[in-house]
Amino acid sequence: MKVTIVDYNSGNISSVINSFNEVAGDKVNIKITSDLNKIKSSDKIVLPGQGSFKSCIEALKNITGLVETLNEFAINDKKPLLGICVGLQMFADIGYEETETKGLGWISGKVSKINNLNGKFKLPHIGWNQINIVKQSKIFKGIENNSHMYFVHSYEFVPNDINVISATTNYSSNIVCSVEKENIFGTQFHPEKSDKIGLKIIDNFINL
């Protein structure tokens, strides 16, 4: 089985690569690439994301044909895809970080700044927070509710359809931290930085 981590120059993703390699068995081939043919022939894709919504969308668009290839993989072929942090946020129709930017439009909704209640809550939201699992997502198999995950973000994904939400976390308000829509999965937290529980989520995705 081929699992591809999409490399589109969105910051340091070495911890993502290391975590997937740690979990992957002998039968799983983990590759990091921006080669469109290798992405197309993958069984599963991981879309990481560091930095702003705008910078990540622009970085995707800077690689000719990448957005179209991802659309074909996730929307047409309906193969499993996992978005991490801004990788999840880019599923949205639109984001408001830096400037209004059009997203991939895979899961209808918007990405807006966390309401920190006039400075009562620090932004970015950094550190370990409990997650509340609100529906049985395939990637939460064997994960206990109220497990702690590691977060680094100032913006949140607000989907139009609450049925895609698989987990929330409480930070100033109920923030969506995981979504699942058919073959598309996303986590606002960083499973690759969330110790053994995070590795279990990665393992669940690989074994879908």
- Based on the number of CB atoms within 10 Å of its own CB, is 13 exposed (0-12), middle (13-18) or buried (19 or more)? buried
pLDDT for the residue 11 = 76
Instruction: Return d(Cα 201, Cα 188) in angstroms, integer.
Output: 13
149 has pLDDT over 90: yes
- Average of per-residue pLDDT values in the chain: 96
To 10 degrees, what angle do helices 195-206 and 14-23 make?
70
Helices (H), 46-139: 53-62, 66-71, 86-89
pLDDT over 70, % of the chain? 100
Instruction: Return d(Cα 62, Cα 148) in angstroms, integer.
Output: 35
The whole-number average pLDDT for the span 35-51 is: 96
Q: How confident is the model at residue 26 (pLDDT cuts 50, 70, 90)?
A: confident
Query: Token pair 């439009």 is at which residue?
Result: 105
SS3 122: coil
Which of the 8 DSSP states describes residue 142? T
The catalytic site residues sit at 85, 190, 192
Which range is least confidently modeled, 11-20, 63-72, 151-160?
11-20
- Comparing C-alpha atoms, which of 170, 98, 172, 102 is closest to residue 134? 170
Instruction: Return d(Cα 34, Cα 130) in angstroms, integer.
Output: 34
Domains of the chain: residue spans and CATH: 2-99+107-206 (3.40.50.880)
pLDDT for the residue 25 = 84
pLDDT for the residue 192 = 97
pLDDT per position as a tens digit, 176-194? 999 999 999 999 999 999 9
Q: How confident is the model at residue 95 (pLDDT cuts 50, 70, 90)?
A: very high
pLDDT for the residue 12 = 79
